[in-house]
Amino acid sequence: MAINKSKVAVGFIVVGVLTVFFGTLLTFVGPLIIDDQVVKNTVIDPKNEMSYTMWRDVPVPFFMSVYFFHVLNPKEILAGEKPMVEQRGPYVYRKRIQKDNITFHPNSTVSYKEYRSYYFEPSMSVGNESDVLTIPNMLVLGAAVMLESLSVPVRMIISMAFKTFDEGPFLTKTVGELMWGYDSKLVNFLNKYLPGMLPSSGKFGLFSEFNNSDTGLFTIHTGKDDIRNVHKVVSWNGLTELSYWRTPQCNMINGTAGQMWPPFMTEESTLPFYSPDACRSLELVYQRSGKMKGIPLYRFVAPKTLFANGTDYSPNEGFCPCRQSGLLNVSSCRQNSPVFISHPHFFNADPVLLDYVHGLSPNEEDHGLFIDIHPLTGVPLNVSIRLQLNLYMKRVRGITETGKISEVVMPMLWFEERGYIDGPILNTFHTNLVVLPAVMEYMQYGMIALGLATIIIAAFVHAHHNGPAARNQTISYNLLFQRKESSSFIFHPIVTCKN
């Protein structure tokens, strides 16, 4: 009986050792299996049904919220007083994104055009597109700055043209007209006799060129040859570099197209991407880690140097001529119109900009931009891109519409494009990238713990049956058997003699 228990104990020890071995092996092999699956599912390939569909159609709901700076004192501004503005909004639009003309190339790249369209969402907005607002007239005040270098007589003729076409320094229009365009005799005249001077060929609106349009022809890496390059831009509209800016560094097209990034990110990673709307590459930096509904994430934000001028941050010298830090001069890609991009309410900008306008109050929570990324896959979980459109305006002699306007960078509107993973996609994401890896992790450590426990218990049982007590018991059994055998030996002859 003791011998059987000992053999069983040895068997359990062997089983325990094997369990620990496979558990330990799983700690090394498990992450490799997960990484291999991430690589396979991250490559842009129609065979990867879920990830390819997600890249092609972007099923995540995206919304654009627009906030206008309604001008409260237009007459006083023309008299040289400081502008007073009041934020109105948000006016929210659902943004639909879809890729088309998708063409795969032999060198592990893919080309496509991304089309976008916007649909007003009354239930999410504070008002309607019929709301009436007053903002600076870019056609007049922007043109005045652009034409400042012309002679005074020519400027006076231009001023007469403004009056002829009934164009004043400020516009009072509905939200819908300001967004998507309104009829203008001046615009019709310029498009007829000076084609190409304006960015749009139809009605003039701040977002008229965005709706039902594409962002250009992108060619990006599929990641098939090197997963570290997946989603990175090879060219845009056939260009591998831009010509808007003054230095090769500023003209570089860096990073991705701004929707996904390569997997396996660390806290040292950055988020570079090319934005056709900003006419340049941008780069966000790591801020903190966190979780979204149990899914780990890294938050990336805009560094303070993103829109810094060349004096405060020398690499940005190529984006000049600059004004105060916090302003990006995009006139070079906007028909030389004196337009500047910034963070909303001049957040992270030179404080002097706030002194020129009443009604601004920047803070990071409402006006900072961020992208929350799942670091293992490079997929954005939560996105909020916030930018402000500003017009540089001033008094220009000969153009009476400018009155006595003080030199100012005037905020016109700011918008937020936001989206987040939710619904079935989030559930699938959570199952594949949180639950399954966790189960694998618990399994490997569970196997190690179970194996160690089995070894310890089996070893104890084996020692118990083969230790000193067991040996003493065996000796006692042997002595007893010897006595019995001796007794039999003595007793047997006596019986024989009696017989």
The answer as to whether 353 is a domain residue is: yes
Tally of domains within the chain: 1
Say what angle helices 2-42 and 49-57 make with each other, to 10 degrees: 30
CA angle 456, 461, 466 (to 5 degrees): 120
If one compares 443 and 153, the residue with the highest pLDDT of the two is 153
pLDDT band at 333 (very low <50, low <70, confident <90, very high): confident
* CA–CA separation, 359 and 208 (whole Å): 27
Strand partners for 408: 393
pLDDT band at 332 (very low <50, low <70, confident <90, very high): confident
The answer as to whether 319 is a domain residue is: yes
The answer as to whether 191 is a domain residue is: yes
The answer as to whether 457 is a domain residue is: no
The answer as to whether 427 is a domain residue is: no
Q: What pTM value is reported for the model?
A: 0.83
Lowest-pLDDT choice from 29-38, 223-232, 357-366, 490-499: 490-499
The answer as to whether 464 is a domain residue is: no
* CA–CA separation, 287 and 70 (whole Å): 34
Are 171 and 137 spatial neighbours (Cβ–Cβ below 8 Å)?
yes
* Domain containing residue 323: 61-421
Lowest-pLDDT choice from 100-109, 205-214, 310-319, 337-346: 205-214
The answer as to whether 29 is a domain residue is: no
The answer as to whether 484 is a domain residue is: no
pLDDT value at 488 more than 80: no
C-alpha to C-alpha distances, 289 to 89, 292, 297, 437, 474, nearest whole angstrom = 31, 10, 6, 19, 65
pLDDT band at 189 (very low <50, low <70, confident <90, very high): confident
